[in-house]
Amino acid sequence: MKDKRLVNFRYIFYPFLAFLFGIIVARGLYSADIETLLVVIAILFIIGIFLFVKKKYKIMAILFAFFFIGNGFYFLGTLNYNVKSYEGEVSIVGRVSDNFEENDYYYMVVLDDVTINGESAKNIKATFSKGDNKLEVGDILTFQSEVTPQSLFTLGSLNSTTYRQNVGYTLSASTSDLVIATGYTKFDEDVRLAIKDLIYSNMSEDNAAIAYAVLFGDQSGISYEVNQSYRDSGIIHIIAVSGFNIGFLIAILYTAFSHARIKRLVSFIITCVIIVLYAYFCGFAPSVVRASIMGIVTMSAQIFGRRYDALNSLGLSGFIILLLNPLTAFDVGFLMSVFCVIGIVSLSPLFIRFLDRFLPTTIASYIAVSFSAQIAILPFLASFGSTFNLLSFIINLFLIPLFAVMYPYLFFISFLSLLLPFLSVMLVPVDWILSVCYFFAYIFSTSALQIKLIPLSILTSTIFYFLVFTMGELVMIKPMTKFFASSMILLLCVLSFGFCYISNSLSSSIVYLNSYNQESVLLVSKSGQTMVVGDNYLLPRVTGKYNLNRLDIYVTFDSLNEDDVDRLEEYGFSHYICTEGEEYQEGIFVARPFQLLQAGDFYLSYLSLDGDVIGLLITFDQTSVFVASKDKIDYNNIEIYQNYLNSLNIDIAFLGDDYSLANSNFLSVGANQNSVTNYNFAKDGNLRFDLGDNISIRRLD
C-alpha cells in the first residue's frame, strides 16, 4: 500500500526555505553560537530521519544541498560588502541622492557615485551641519573628512537600511567645508521628487508622508506619533509597499485592459512593464520585488493555462532576490513579506472554514487573511518590541476595502499629474481618506486589548513556525492527529519561550552601545533596577532583547526640557538626572558636580576638573563605572586627568573619544585602540559586560 503523503513537496518552495535558512543560520553557526548550533543540528536531524524513514532520499539530498549552498552564499554576501578602512582625513567626491532629510540645523543625506582618494567606494551617509552652503539633490560635493566604516550587523541584526542603500561609511562635516558643483539627477529620482512635490502641495504634511510611503515605501517623513498609531492598531502593513499594493495595481490594470478589449497577451506585456517600472521607482526594495515576481507569475499562469501555486511562486521570487543579494535573508521587511504569504496560504483556509459558520464568505475571508498574516509575522513584530492588537482584525475589515479603492486612485492620479499637473488637485480626496484612516488608527491604538510582544529566540521562533506549518493546510494529517500534534508543539514552544525568557535576564550587567556617534550605557543591578546614561536609537532593541519592560533612571550630561522628557517617555523612565536646567517637574533632578546621589541601587556623582564636567562615576553591585563626557577634556593637561582617574579605583571606563585617558589599571572602551585600551567600539562593536567575581565580556553584533 502506498504511503499517504504528509506534505506535498514543492520543488521550488521547500528548497528556497532550505536556502533561506542556510543563509540565516550561517553567521551563528560558524561563529560557534551554541543556541544556533543546537537548533540547526536538531532540525537537520529531525528532517533527515523523517525523510530517511520515508525513503525520500532525493528530497533529502536536495534540501541538505540547498542548506549548505545557503551557507556559502552568506559568505559571498559578506565578502561582496567588504568596506575598506581609511586613516585620517580623506578626499571625497560624491553626489547628493534623493535620500535627503533637512531640518533647521543639518542635512542628513546619502552620497552615491562616491570616490575616496580617487578610488570608487560605497555610498556614504553624511550629516552636514548648516553653514554657508545650501544643498540640493544632484549636487556634486568635493571635500575632505574622516569616514567611519559601517558594520553590516548591529546587536545581531542586519542594518537593513544600510544594506539596501549600499552605505559603507558615515561622516559628519559642515556645508562650509564643501565645494559644490551642479550635478545631475537620475530618472527615478526625478519621478519621485516630482510626485512628492505634488503630494505635499495638496495634502497635510502627515497625510502626504503616509501617501508617499504608500507609493514608494519611504517612511522617513512619517512622524513618530503617526507611525506608532498605525503600528499599535495593527495596520502598519498598509503603509508599506507589498503584495497588497501590487495585487491591487494588477487587478485595476487587468480590469481596464479587459474593458478596452485589449488582447490578453498584450495586456500581460504592458502590465509587466508597468510593474517592473514601479519596482524600479521603489528602488527594487525586496518586498516589492517579491510581490512583483509573484504577480507576474500569477499572470503568466493565467495566460498559458497553468495552475498557479502561490508557494512555488514565492520560492521563485525569493531565489531571485537572494541570488542577487544574499544578505537580504536578514532583512526583516523581506522576511515579513515571505512569511506573511506562507501564513496566508497555510492558515487562512482553516480560519475561513471556522468563520464561514457565522459570517458572510467575503467578510470571513478578509478577517481570515488579515489574522493569518499577523500570526505569521508575530516573531518579527516581537523583534521590534511591538504590540499585538486583539482588535486589529476589526480595523482591517474596515480599512482594507477602503485602501483597495484609495491606493489605485492615488497611484494613477499621482503619475497622471506628472503629465497633466492640473489633475493634482484630485489628490485632495486621498487626504480625506488618510485622515479617516489615521482617526481609526489612533482610536484602536489606544485600546487596552493589546499584548506587549517579547522578542523570541531562534529556538522559539523555529518551533513557532513548525506550529504554523502543522496547524495549517501544508501538513495533511487527520484533524484529531493534527490537534494533538499542534498541542504538543505549542507546549514545546511555550517551554522554550519560558526557558529563554529566564536565561536572558540581564541581572547585574552593563550594555555599552555606540552607533552613529550616539553613545549610551545601560546598567542593570542584581535586583533588576536599570539606569541609562545617554540616548541611543538601539535602546528599544536592547530592552526588547533582554525582556526589560521598563527603564528606571535616565542620566545625561546635558540639560533636560519638556520635549526631551516627552521623547524619552516611551522607555518608561521614572527619574531623570541632568547637570543643567531647572527642576520643572517631579522626577527631574539637577545635580551639582561632586554631589553624591543615590538612585535606587545606584550611587553616582558627576566629576569635574577645571570647571568642566569630565564624566560620571557610578557604583553598583560592588562595581565602579566611569563614563566620560564628550569634548570636555583639556588635552594640554592630559596627565592630570590620567592621574585623577587612576585615583578612583575604577573597574570599567567608557571613554568615547577620550581614549587617551585609557589606563592599564582599569578595563576601558574607547574610540581608538592603543597599548592600554582594551576595547575599541568601532572595531569590537556593541558590548555586554556580565558582572560577578570576574567580568565577562561579549560582543552583541
Q: Summarize pLDDT for 615-626 with one digit per residue, the tens.
A: 899 999 888 899
Assign 448 a pLDDT band (cuts: 50, 70, 90). Answer: low
344: its cell numbers: 496566508
pLDDT-derived band of residue 110, with 50, 70 and 90 as boundaries? very high
Domains of the chain from N-terminus onward: 1-80 (no CATH), 90-185 (2.40.50), 194-333+390-452 (no CATH), 509-699 (3.60.15.10)
Sign of the alpha-carbon torsion through 474, 480, 486, 489: negative
Segment among 97-101, 392-396, 483-487, 599-603 with least mean pLDDT: 392-396
First to last CA, the chain: 53
Highest mean pLDDT among 162-171, 297-306, 440-449, 672-681 belongs to 162-171
Q: What does the alpha-carbon distance between residue 341 and residue 322 come to, in Å, rounded to a whole number? A: 17
According to DSSP H, which parts of 111-175 are helical?
A: 160-164
Q: CA-to-CA distance for 333 and 236, rounded, in angstroms?
A: 12
Angle between helices 13-29 and 310-324 (to 10 degrees): 40
pTM for this prediction: 0.80
Please state, in angstroms and rounded to a whole number, the distance separating the CA atoms of residues 604 and 523. Answer: 12
Contact 601, 529 (CB under 8 A): yes
Residue type, 282: C
Closest CA to 430 of 183, 210, 181, 104: 210
Contact 175, 134 (CB under 8 A): yes
Residue 212 pLDDT: 92
pLDDT tens per residue across span 267-294: 888 888 988 998 898 888 888 888 888 8
Of the pLDDT bands very low, low, confident and very high (cuts 50, 70, 90), residue 1 is: very low
Higher pLDDT, 82 or 25: 25
Task: Write phi, then psi, for 249 (nearest 5 degrees).
Answer: -65, -45
Is there a contact between 242 and 337 (Cβ–Cβ < 8 Å)? yes
Give the pLDDT score at 501: 64
Q: Where are the beta strands (DSSP E) in 134-202?
A: 140-145, 148-149, 153-154, 157-158, 167-174, 179-181
Q: What's the rounded Cα separation, in Å, for the pair 224 and 207?
A: 13
What is the average per-residue pLDDT within 489-517?
A: 75
pLDDT of residue 677: 65
Residue 437: per-residue pLDDT: 87
Q: Position of cell 502641495? A: 201
Q: Cβ–Cβ contacts within 10 Å for residue 649, how many? A: 9
Confidence tier at 257 by pLDDT (50, 70, 90) = confident
Q: Considering only CA atoms, which of 166, 208, 151 is closest in space to residue 27?
A: 151
How far apart CA 88 and CA 95 sit, in angstroms, is 22
Instruction: Provide the 3-class DSSP secondary structure of residue 666.
Output: coil
In whole numbers, what is the pLDDT of the chain averaged over residues? 83
The C-alpha cell 553626489 sits at: 95
Higher per-residue pLDDT: 231 or 17: 17
- How far is Cα 84 from Cα 72, in angstroms, rounded to an integer? 22
Q: Are 315 and 331 in contact (CB under 8 A)?
A: no
Helix 187-202 to helix 392-419 angle (10° resolution) is 110
Question: Per-residue pLDDT tens for 188-239?
Answer: 999 999 999 999 999 999 999 999 988 888 887 888 788 878 888 877 777 7
Alpha carbon dihedral 321, 327, 331, 333, in 10-degree steps, equals -10
Per residue in 567-608, pLDDT (tens digit) is: 777 777 888 888 876 655 667 888 888 888 888 889 999 988
Q: Is 18 exposed, middle or buried (0-12, 13-18, 19+ CB in 10 A)?
A: buried
pLDDT at 583: 56
Rg over alpha carbons for the chain, rounded to the nearest Å, is 27
Grid cell, residue 408, equals 489605485
Least confident of 16-30, 97-111, 359-373: 359-373
Amino acid 401: pLDDT: 79
Span of 56-60, 307-311, 319-323 with lowest mean pLDDT: 307-311
Given the DSSP bridges, would you call strands 679-680 and 575-578 parallel, antiparallel or unpaired? Answer: unpaired
DSSP state at residue 422: G
